[in-house]
Amino acid sequence: MPEVIFPGPEGRLEGRYHPQKESDAPIAIILHPHPQFGGTMNNKVVYNLHYAFYNMGFTVLRFNFRGVGRSQGEYDQGIGELSDAASALDYLQSMNNNSKHCWVAGFSFGAWIGMQLLMRRPEITGFISVSPPANMYDFSFLAPCPSSGLIINGTGDRVAPPADTKSLVSKLSEQKGITVTHTEIEGADHFFKEPHMDTMIDHVSGYVKRRLTENSR
């Protein structure tokens, strides 16, 4: 898998880029968990999401937010990280002009950043939010939420309690024109430790495949 370095708002950003042979393949970016709690693009959930999208025919980019790994800059409370994500999407789009579908997937802190990116980028056709920390961050900016997606969490999540995720989903479900699908994995923790990782990835893949055949927003 090619290592890539691309320009971000605060200097270079480090990523892993996995292109398909087809020039019109759909594209996806994968966003990692909190930089100050050990989150990197090589996090297991992020890595597995990356390959799940690649195996479904997507050209995929995952990258390190500023100050992580070889990415320049320093942690910026989510504001700079959102700009990093926008730069990553710019980079991915610049190399894939013919792509018809654009997805964003994020885990934990990355889910929060991904949902904000949705609001800025109308070309995003679908999202995956894994273990969104609705107890720690305000998601009220999703008014209205511009595209349909999947929110997935574990019933045993102690970092982002399931009750907060449910209330986020119920708010989003009141909106017209989009469908937010919610899946809970019985017994899984925040990080989908085994044996729950495969189950989570199977749900994500099933959802994305269904959406791609529907061609809907």
Mean pLDDT for 172-184 is 93
The answer to whether the CB of 46 falls within 8 A of the CB of 32 is yes
Question: Residue 27: is its pLDDT beyond 60?
Answer: yes
Average pLDDT, the chain: 96
Q: What is the predicted pLDDT for the residue at 114? A: 98
Q: What is the predicted pLDDT for the residue at 214? A: 82
pLDDT tens per residue across span 110-167: 999 999 999 999 999 999 999 999 999 999 999 889 999 999 999 999 999 999 999 9
Nearest to 92, CA basis, from 196, 18, 10 = 18
The answer to whether the CB of 5 falls within 8 A of the CB of 80 is no
Question: Residue 217: is its pLDDT beyond 90?
Answer: no
Nearest to 208, CA basis, from 155, 166, 150 = 150
How far, in whole angstroms, is CA 42 from its chain's centroid?
Answer: 14
Question: Residue 216: is its pLDDT beyond 60?
Answer: no
Global pTM reads: 0.97
Which segments of the chain does DSSP mark as H helices, in order? 44-55, 79-94, 109-120, 162-173, 196-214
Q: What is the predicted pLDDT for the residue at 88? A: 98
Residue 179 to residue 95: CA distance in whole angstroms: 30
Strand order in the sheet with 180-185: 3-8, 11-18, 59-63, 27-31, 102-107, 126-130, 149-154, 180-185
CA 108-93-207 angle, 5° bins: 45
